[in-house]
């Protein structure tokens, strides 16, 4: 899963710790989400989107899928 979390956080001049405090998670969790090493739970993804006043789809996107042909 890809996210715009780092960009959204930077636009507000928040550190990872600032964001972590607002979300009530660890700074390491924020870092792992930003670097793509961890996909947030659905409740956390909703909290993130709500914090930035965006739809989840505006924060998180799935990686591009290759198109498959029907046989």
Residue 1's pLDDT is: 85
Q: For 4-57, write each residue's pLDDT tens digit.
A: 999 999 999 999 999 999 999 999 999 999 999 999 999 999 999 999 999 999
Q: Could you tell me the residue range of the domain that residue 20 belongs to?
A: 2-59
Q: Write a three-state SS string for the chain.
A: CEECHHHHHHHCCCCHHHHHHHHCCCHHHHHHHHCCCCCCCHHHHHHHHHHCCCCHHHHEECCCCCCCCCC
- 42 domain-assigned: yes
Q: Is residue 33 part of a domain?
A: yes
CATH number, residue 40: 1.10.260.40
Residue partners of 45: CB distance under 8 A and separation at least 6: 56, 59, 60
Q: What domain count does the chain have?
A: 1
Q: What would the two tokens of residue 35 be?
A: 């670097």
Q: How confident is the model over 55-68, as pLDDT tens digits?
A: 999 999 987 644 44
Q: What is the pLDDT of residue 57?
A: 95
């Amino acid at each position: 899963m890809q996210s715009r979390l780092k960009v959204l956080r930077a636009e507000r001049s928040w550190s990872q710790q600032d964001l972590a405090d607002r979300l009530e998670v660890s700074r390491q969790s924020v870092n792992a989400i930003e670097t793509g090493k961890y996909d947030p739970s659905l409740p956390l993804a909703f909290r993130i989107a709500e914090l930035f006043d965006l739809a989840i789809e505006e924060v998180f996107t799935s990686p591009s899928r290759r198109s498959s042909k029907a046989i």
